[in-house]
Amino acid sequence: MLKKHQLYQQLKQDIQLLQWLPGTVLTQQQLAQHYGVSRIVVRDVQQSLLNEGWLLVHGKAGMQVPGFSAAEAEELCLLRLQLEPLALQLAAANISFSRLGQAEDMLASIDAGTTLPAYQRGELNWQFHRLLYQDCGKPHLLRLLDQLHQQVSRYLGYQEQALAYAGTSAAEHRELISLLRGGNISTACELLISHISSASKLLVQYLQKNKAP
């Protein structure tokens, strides 16, 4: 029988992989029955997922599976663009060679994982970025970035190829490492900006073409 954290992971993944279609209205009882847990567990998970944007409140009863929109994706990317360069700039002053090494290891994992599903590659990709920001010394900023990533990652199950390409531009990642190793912080921030920008544009364009569900 599923426990709280397992249900959390499972339901989130099911939403991401469109096992529950956007617009669907779910009730606590429905979910409790479907996943074989008590409503108490569902309630806990429900509140977490509501906070993280994986579910929306739906009137006075029920929760709704959110859809996708180019406007929302654009907003999320705008916020990333506003905060991630700041995090990089702050972290760059403190970053150690061992941290850079960790990041390089992560790049190797990404290279090795070409056969993984898009949403898992997206996760690795974020973990790489996250390592670069790790030493910024601003826990609230990191928390916000994690939240933003979560919300962006909701789109990764939806469109397989567009972001699969955009997120994993290995050359830019390696260039970032190299700039940080050389202490060239401002150039690194600029590269990060263009890196995020171009990924954003691809995502938004994809959503504008393929009318979102």
Closest CA to 119 of 15, 193, 212: 15
Stretch that binds a copy of itself, among 36-44, 54-62, 113-121, 200-208 (CB under 8 A): 36-44
The tokens for 154 are 């909701």
In the complex, which residues of this chain contact DNA (CB under 7 A)?
1, 3-4, 27-30, 37-41, 43-44, 59-63
**Size of the chain in residues:** 213
Residue 139: what are its φ and ψ, rounded to 5°?
A: -60, -35
Stretch that binds a copy of itself, among 4-12, 70-78, 122-130, 157-165 (CB under 8 A): 70-78
Report the alpha-carbon distance of residue 33 to residue 18 in Å, rounded.
19
Q: Which does 39 bind (CB under 5 to 8 A by kind): DNA, a copy of itself, none?
A: DNA
CB of 13 to a copy of itself, least distance (A): 21
Toward DNA, which CB reaches closer, 43 or 174? 43
| Residue 82 contacts a copy of itself per CB under 8 A | yes
| Residue 86 contacts a copy of itself per CB under 8 A | yes
CB of 198 to DNA, least distance (A): 41
Q: Name residues whose C-beta falls within 8 Å of residue 50's C-beta, 6 or more positions apart in sequence.
A: 56, 57, 63
Toward DNA, which CB reaches closer, 42 or 164? 42
| Residue 190 contacts a copy of itself per CB under 8 A | no
Across 61-94, b (16+ Cβ under 10 Å) vs e yields eebbbbebebebbbebbebbeebbbebbbbbbee
Q: Name residues whose C-beta falls within 8 Å of residue 180's C-beta, 6 or more positions apart in sequence.
A: 92, 95, 100, 132, 188
Q: Is the dihedral of CA 50, 77, 193, 209 positive or negative?
A: positive
Toward a copy of itself, which CB reaches closer, 74 or 172? 74
Q: Which of 61, 115, 139, 171 binds a copy of itself (CB under 8 A)?
A: 139
Toward DNA, which CB reaches closer, 29 or 178? 29
| Residue 83 contacts a copy of itself per CB under 8 A | yes
CB 43 within 8 A of CB 29: no
Per CB under 8 A, residues contacting a copy of itself are 40, 43-44, 47-48, 51, 72, 75-76, 78-79, 82-83, 86, 138-141, 144, 151
